[in-house]
Amino acid sequence: MQRRNLTPLVLMSGPSVWLAIFFVAPLILMAIFSLRPDMRGALFSLDWTPTLKHYETIVEGEVYLPLLLVSVRVAFSVAFFATLLAYPLAYFLVFRTGLRAPLLLTLLILPFWTSYLLRIIAWKIILGTGGVINSLLMFLGLVDAPVPILLYSRLAVVITLVYVWLPFVALPIYAALQRIDRSLLEAATILGAPPWFSFLRVTLPLSMPGVIAGFVMVFIPTVGEFVTPILVGGSRGALYGNIVELFFGDGINWPLGSAMALIMLIGVLVLFAVAVRLVDVRRFIG
């Protein structure tokens, strides 16, 4: 009898255990906590009766679900504009830089070496009433007074998150563009296709896996973002994640926070499933 190769199982065991401990187990624990009536008793006590009152509070409340929809719109805007800006950047790195591509790619990921909070605080200074943008607008005579909407608003949150996520989106698009067979582009040119037509019919479709991967990679974590809205959004730029963080922090209401987090997770999964149904992703990947 042929001896079974156990190498794949051994290699997969480590990541599987890691995911089970740090991803699946916390989700199960959060689902259990969402059914607790309150936090009285020991943390892992089972002396309580399950209830759905926290889910009823969220559904019947006038703040929670509307704020979740706002967070989804903000996440979609961030993912859309980040993808829109990252594509020409990745295209330039692949097709226009030649031997300088590794150096420019290093410069692209250079901000990753800096603290996330420092980058957010830098944008807080840039968008402030005495910041670079307002100072430039006043110097050019475009405005007579600083524009307050640039800071402590959802616009500030979108601008900052687009900057933060731009390199993350550019990398998968860069990888997808690099995998394109250049002979296909040469064939399109030989057949008389102008550059814009070759881009629309060859380059763009073949790079769609990277575009979709970058968009999803930005959209999903941005829905639950709470650090950036606190720093540059203020009270006017608060998102759904800020309320969840409040209940797990100062609010000391873990069951309600767990229910809100689960609703957000389910909502994102539903949106993703609908998008997969509407857009045949396999057509691009295949």
**Pair 74, 157: CB distance under 8 Å:** yes
Identify the pLDDT of residue 70: 94
Instruction: Identify the CA nearest to 239 among candidates 45, 42, 70.
Output: 70
Identify the pLDDT of residue 103: 86
Identify the pLDDT of residue 279: 61
**Pair 187, 203: CB distance under 8 Å:** no
Every domain of the chain and the residues it spans? 68-285
Residue 211's contacts (CB-CB under 8 Å, 6 or more residues apart) are 83, 87, 172, 173, 176
> What span, in angstroms and rounded, lies between the C-alpha atoms of 163 and 95?
23
Identify the pLDDT of residue 145: 79
DSSP-assigned letters across all residues of 21-74:
IIIIHHHHHHHHHTT-S-S-S-TT---S----HHHHHHHH-SSHHHHHHHHHHH
Residue 31's contacts (CB-CB under 8 Å, 6 or more residues apart) are 258, 262
> What span, in angstroms and rounded, lies between the C-alpha atoms of 161 and 220?
13
> What span, in angstroms and rounded, lies between the C-alpha atoms of 200 and 114?
36
**Pair 120, 164: CB distance under 8 Å:** yes
Flag residues of the chain having pLDDT under 70. 1-4, 149, 251, 278-286
Q: What is the CATH number of domain 68-285?
A: 1.10.3720.10
Identify the pLDDT of residue 257: 92
| Structure-token pair, residue 108 | 């692209």
Give buried/exposed letters for 229-255 (b at 16+ CB in 10 A, else e): bbbbbeeebbbbbbbbbbbbeeeebbb
Radius of gyration of the chain (CA): 24
> What span, in angstroms and rounded, lies between the C-alpha atoms of 15 and 54?
34
Identify the pLDDT of residue 109: 84
Sign of CA dihedral 142, 143, 146, 150: negative
Place of tokens 């030649």: 98
Q: How many C-beta neighbours within 10 Å does residue 209 have?
A: 18
